[in-house]
Copies of this chain bind each other. A is one copy, B any other.
Amino acid sequence: MGDPTLATTEATPDARRRDPERTREDILTVATAEFAAEGYTGARIDDIAARTRTTKRMIYYYFGSKEGLYLAVMENAYTGIRTLERELDIEGLGPVDALRALAEHTYDHHTSHPNFVRLVAIENVHRAEHITRSAVIHELNSTAIDTLERILKLGVEAGLFRADVDALDAHMMISSYAIFHVANRYTFRALFGRDLLDDERHEHYRALAGDAIVAALTDVRQTGT
């Protein structure tokens, strides 16, 4: 719901035929859910087709192959997140507050879009061989990186931030924290009995996401000790 791109939505009851765009989107929605749930190898074309209001033949008509469908799912997912990234508004905020806002926004996004995080994990299991070949994904420019660069530049110039941690490093730190909560949720719970996505802990972990990145980037030499 909320995210028409990734959520597992049911096919509209009335089988509206003769609407190619709708058919395509229907397949994509179902396939996203299936690939995110079962992995690339584990996903079944038959299962996807069964949950669609069209047939298996249409999947091949629109996407050519299982890999083609998977790639379309990945491109769709990455396009979605890039769009959401742009929604973040940090105008008028100082570097520290902006950084914190970015981290919290990322945390919110990832925890509310588990399928995206799962797809990324799955793609990594396959050594990113699919998205590496995708022109679409390469053309997507990460707003997050651009934003981070500006924030870091301001912060360093103000003597607040370390100068030896660049935007990609910061992005890595922010992402790793947020992704872990979704990607490693199950083994973490199995081993330690704690559900990282428990609603009760959401605020705590959200705030910690901001605190941690701000603390990590703060130039300790400035504060003295």
Contacts from A to B (Cβ < 8 Å): 38-42, 118, 120-128, 131-132, 137, 142, 145, 164-165, 168-169, 171-173, 175-177, 179-181, 183-192, 194, 196, 204-205, 208, 211-212, 215-216, 218, 220, 223-225
Contact = CB atoms under 8 A, between A and B. Distances in A.
B131 A125 contact: no
A34 to B, nearest CB: 13
A176 B212 CA distance: 12
Contacts of A165: 208
Contacts of A145: 192
Given A183-B121, A186-B128, A190-B132, A196 B172 contact: yes
What does DSSP make chain A's interface, helix, strand, loop or mixed? Answer: helix
Give this chain's copy count. Answer: 4
A108 to B, nearest CB: 16
Contact of A176 (B118, B177, B215): B177
The winner among A38, A125, A126 for most chain B CB atoms within 10 A is A125
A168 B186 contact: no
B190 A184 contact: no
B190 A180 contact: no
Contact of A184 (B120, B187, B208): B120
Contacts of A172: 180-181, 188, 196
